[in-house]
Structure 1
Amino acid sequence: MCLADMHFVSLKTFFGMRRGQYNNLEEANDFLKEMNELIPFTKDPAISSMIYLARLGSAVAMETQNAHAVDDGLSYLQFAKEHAEHISPGKDTGMVYSIETNLLFEKYEKDPSNEMKTKLLNTIDIALSHFSQESEDVKRELKRQLMSKMAYC
């Protein structure tokens, strides 16, 4: 793993840990900007770009002043999923679908329609399948998180 990859992973991890502490996109902007600048120097820019877009979508969805924040965040997730189509399924691609699940769940809470429920459950299934090659501990934790969302549907 090269230095750019290690730095990118540390930013990704730190951003993920602090996501709940950000009140808006502006507070997360420094991390996102630094992640974006590192992408060309990483070993696999497609994976790094996918992760960046997923984290950006998550951050955009936090904007409380924007009534369409979740939809805007899902737009970035769509771009991340397009990257994921060309990457072997694993924890990074699964993370994209997990973030999408979180955003879809926010939409479902506001509009509990059958269509949204189906979309949410399908996304959870996809996320679970992407984590199938991970260790038992990782699979169990992610399955617990995703299944708790299923219980609310």
Structure 2
Amino acid sequence: MNTTEKSKTTLVVGASGATGKELVNQLLNLDQNVKIIVRSKSRIPSTWKANSKISIIENSILNLSDLQMQDYVKDCDAIASCLGHNLTFKGIYGHPRRLVTDATKKLVNASIHHKNKKPIKFVLMNTSGNSNRDLNESVPFSQKCVIALLRLLLPPHVDNEKAADYLRTENRSKS
């Protein structure tokens, strides 16, 4: 990398999960700066704690104020949300029921208020059961039935759909 070139910075939320850890490691291998927001440092690799390329913010993302979030995203080139619900009874049926949706809204709103000249890229890890409703795809009746059951029985599925829908629809008017 050219020494005059600014290193890219990516904010990763959900970095302590399986996918988040892999993403952070890949970003570090690309020599990027990484900011992570985690509820607890106890679930992240000890090598990260000593790595000068990582800034660790220990807090629940939904507890952060809008101003705090704006401060965290202001120098970022990208945001990656690897948030998900834990696969436990409490994680699936407990609170927060709209973790992914509410965090997505908070992150997008903070990125809109940043002072950078170029837009911040946003990547949302989502469920394989979600589809892009902007595409005019024919969906078999059997698949519609399975998705309806998922929506009924698994609140995290609905949360993932709503987060993607927010990026797909609501956010267009703000960009």
**Same fold at TM > 0.5:** no
Tell me which protein shows more strand as a share of its residues. Answer: 2
Shorter chain as denominator, the TM-score bin is 0.3 to 0.5
TM-score where L is the length of structure 2: 0.34
| Greater RCO, CA 8 A, separation 6+ | 2
TM-score where L is the length of structure 1: 0.38
